[in-house]
Amino acid sequence: MLQSTLIEAARAGAAEILRYFQGTFRVDNKEGINNLVTEADHASEKAILSVIRNAYPDHMILAEESGKSHQTDEYKWVVDPIDGTVNFAHGIPLNAVSIGIEKNGEIIMGVVYNPHLQEMFFAEKGIGAFLNDKPIRVSNEKKVIKSCLVTGFPYIYLDQPNGPLEVFARFVRKGVPVRRIGSAAIDLCWVAAGRFDGFYEHKLEPWDSAAGSLIVTEAGGMITNHQGNEFSIYQHAVLASNGWIHDELVGVLNNTHEL
């Protein structure tokens, strides 16, 4: 029942995304220039939470726009109603619902659904990762210099030492293609599907990575912090890869390895 509720919740949120997409809706700013929240974010989150609470009224929910509920059940749903809000607000169809389910501190199930491309990524701990019910695997690229990477930039802290701009320059000055598509959840899923070989970002929140992190590992990939240590959705720095290039990426991120 967990899986069916998860999928139902993702579809409910996605329906609101499609209802508002390229229409007229209210847009507000959060912290930082262009850190947007829209009327559609709130509508999607409301639809998602309604499905979850109807099925599991005692489960805790951590949602981007409404914060944390106070239930004390062993299960926690980590919800991003629209990952890629800036894309959404500009009519760019690279945005998605992202929902992860945590049990006793471990992500056990997750879904990322982009309704514009009709791509639903799903993973369950120990079972595998899937795109529209078909198994997916990470790429086999073994060298960073031949890889295609993806990243994102935070709304603040861009110029910190060894920060996003410095790291980005290390890659692109050596000719490594680094894309920025504007949705961390989709970035992670595209690593899982082998479209990208690696993804890094300096400042994500739990709802950005809860589902995607599991999808990567269940597709055979690796996810850590920037130092190569154990990953937690509750810390900001994320590095995900196909596993083959992971150590080399850690070196570039920390300026201990030159391409």
The pLDDT, as a whole number, for residue 154 is 81
The pLDDT, as a whole number, for residue 216 is 98
Tell me the per-residue pLDDT of 7-27, one tens digit each, with 9 for 90 and over: 999 999 999 999 988 766 565
Tell me the per-residue pLDDT of 14-72, one tens digit each, with 9 for 90 and over: 999 999 887 665 655 555 555 555 788 899 999 999 999 999 999 999 996 665 555 66
Give CA–CA dist 218/123, Å, rounded. 7
Asked whether 39 and 160 are in contact (CB, 8 A), the reply is no
Three-state SS for 172?
helix
3-state secondary structure string across 190-243: HHHCCCCCEEEECCCCHHHHHHHHHHHHHCCCEEECCCCCECCCCCCCEEEECC
Delineate the domains of the chain, giving CATH numbers in brackets.
2-135 (3.30.540.10), 144-253 (3.40.190.80)
Catalytic residue positions, numbered? 64, 80, 82-83, 85, 208
- Please check the confidence at residue 161 and state whether its pLDDT lies above 70: yes
Mean pLDDT for 193-197 is 98
Residue 64, amino acid = E
Residue 38, amino acid = T
Give CA–CA dist 86/94, Å, rounded. 10
Averaged confidence pLDDT in the chain: 92
